[in-house]
Amino acid sequence: MRLPLTRLARASAVLAGCTILITSCAEDGSSSDAIREIDTSGQSWSVDALLTDCAAPGVDPAGCVGPNSEGKYTSLSREQVTKPWQLCSVLPHMKDSTWIGINYGEVSQAKSLGVGLSTSDAGGYNNLSEQVSQVENCVSSGADAILLSAVSFDSLNNAVKDAVAAGVPVIDVGNGVSSNEVAGHVLQDYVDMGRLIGEHLVSLDRPMRVALLPGPAGAGWAERSRQGFEATIAGSQVTVADVKYGDTGKEVQLKLVEDVLASNPDIDALVGNAVMAEAATQVLGERGLADRIGVYTTYVTPELVELMGAGRANCGPSEQSSLIGQMAVDYAVRVLEDLPAPGAVERYAPVPVVVCGSAEGESANIEDFDMNGSFAPPSFRPNYSVKAAQ
């Protein structure tokens, strides 16, 4: 059964004349057109999104995780912005295309709305104290709002509390924090991302022993992806033989893949973060195991999409990282302008979708995958400063 991409098409649809990222993929999975830059002219745009009411029954206020519904997110236009607001973004790192994509989206929407944006990154998920200091620096530098992509689900809560006490609202972006003092959340619930790839493996209807490499221990997205995956495969023919956590640096993930293969020579698949998958394709190819061991992920990168097209990786869901960055900046400005989006919603995310390459046989749908909203153009380099234009 082929997995449809209609939800991705809806998530990437842009209204009100705003041009978002556009690229098409040939049947070999390679990009046939360059990803175009986001329009920064200040027009409003709208995308299909997952919406969560943090106060709704069944929703855990710690991170605002729980049932969501599909709806719309519509951005502000530049003419609705009354001040040259200064935003401060704190990222875990910019080692991979996911965070570069979020940086690109944040930078683009800041330019579109004419607000300032300063960005720092902690250098990795092990650098908690560095990120705490960066949040403190955002406050001391006079930022109007903070976009926090936390290295830990729980350990930034005191920093959030101190920032809010100083009158600086904090938006939870990309990773998740358990603090209930944030002004809102713009991120995928990685329970959904883990669930999507778990549902696909269960649908294959055959026994599979998998090793799970979620990402950094303690990171909200990694823990939630494991939770969603394991809950989905419970009682099925898919079983988890091993779990390994680690930073999403390529050297760390390469070592973890090697350790897993040494300890579990009879596994059928590796499941986890996209950097792991990129490393795994190299190791499996060198060892002649590529035809026996599948490679599945809880999110995708441009490099992984290319590997899928070449038949070297199997499947993974797209989280739409550059759209997350755009939505995060827009949401922060909404908070500052006191212009809330309609409805009792405090958490937003673009609609994700599973993408499968040629190695997945009849489930392959990569030729239909439009990377609109997912990644930065190849020419983009991390941008740490945007001046307000208001």
Give the start-to-end residue ranges of the domains of the chain. 6-61+72-187+320-355+364-386, 190-318
> What are the pLDDT digits (tens) for 107-151?
999 999 999 999 999 999 999 999 999 999 999 999 999 999 999
Contact 268, 294 (CB under 8 A): yes
Residue-by-residue DSSP string for 251-306: HHHHHHHHHHHHH-TT--EEEE-HHHHHHHHHHHHHTT-TTTSEEEESS--HHHHH
Rounded to an integer, what distance in angstroms lies between the CA atom of residue 384 and that of residue 117?
8
Q: Residue 295 above 80 pLDDT?
A: yes
Distance, in Å, from the CA atom of 45 to the CA atom of 23, rounded to the nearest integer, reads: 18
380 vs 34, higher pLDDT = 380
CATH architecture of 6-61+72-187+320-355+364-386: 3-Layer(aba) Sandwich (3.40)
Judge if 6-61+72-187+320-355+364-386 and 190-318 fold alike in CATH terms: yes
Least confident of 113-117, 264-268, 329-333, 374-378: 374-378
Q: What is the pTM of this model?
A: 0.82
Q: What is the pLDDT of residue 204?
A: 95
What integer pLDDT is reported at residue 78 of this predicted model? 97
**Whole-number Å distance between alpha carbons of 164 and 202:** 44
Q: Are 373 and 325 in contact (CB under 8 A)?
A: no
Lowest mean pLDDT among 162-171, 202-211, 228-237, 353-362: 353-362
Residue 210 in contact with residue 268, Cβ under 8 Å? yes
pLDDT digits (tens, 9 = 90+) for 19-66: 333 233 333 333 334 577 899 999 999 999 999 999 999 999 999 988
Give the per-residue pLDDT at 30. Answer: 39
Residue 390: its pLDDT value, please?
A: 62
Return the amino acid letter for 296: Y
The percent of residues above 90 in pLDDT, for the chain, comes to: 79
Could you give the 3-state DSSP secondary structure of residue 99? helix
Task: Answer whether residue 2 shows pLDDT above 50.
Answer: no
Beta bridge partners of 105: none
Query: If you classify domain 190-318 with CATH, what class do you get?
Result: alpha beta
User: How much is the pLDDT for 138?
Assistant: 98
Q: Which of 3-7, 240-244, 328-332 has the lowest mean pLDDT?
A: 3-7
Closest CA to 145 of 103, 91, 187, 87: 87
C-alpha closest to that of 182 among 174, 173, 172? 172
Whether residue 323 contacts residue 373, with contact meaning beta carbons closer than 8 Å, is answered with yes
Half-sphere exposure of 201 (CA within 13 A, CB side): 39
Locate tokens 């827009």: which residue?
330
